[in-house]
Amino acid sequence: MTIDVTWLGAAAGPSFVVAMNTHSVDLDGVDLRQLASLRVDKGPALQPSGWDAPKGGHHRSGTLTFPTAGADGTPTISAGVNNVELVIRDVAGVPERTFTWST
């Protein structure tokens, strides 16, 4: 199974294109709103606000989004951010996959 993630960049905020492909697992039941988290500069983990992916069986792609600002109004990804880390847990028997970008 492969999971490819593309961060749309700082200007797009906390949005990621996720493509999952396999020949052994039905991916229609995978809900990344429950299985993913985002960490910015090793801060607290954020939960997704959206997972827009049509069902596709063994091939599923969509956009995973996170809140653009914290509860205090601070932008999730701002000019001072150095690292963005997306974690996807428990997909196809893999406990954790981590994707990291430097800004």
Nearest to 5 by CA among 50, 55, 62: 62
Nearest to 60 by CA among 19, 4, 25, 2: 19
Please tell me the class of the 2-102 domain. mainly beta
H or E segment at 89? Answer: strand 83-91
| pLDDT over 90 (residue 103) | no
In this prediction the pTM is: 0.93
pLDDT digits (tens, 9 = 90+) for 28-87: 999 999 999 999 997 889 999 999 999 988 999 999 999 999 888 889 998 889 999 999
d(CA 60, CA 22): 9
Nearest to 16 by CA among 54, 60, 64: 64
Nearest to 30 by CA among 62, 6, 66, 65: 62
> Mean pLDDT over residues 22-26, rounded?
86
| pLDDT over 90 (residue 2) | yes
| pLDDT over 90 (residue 95) | yes
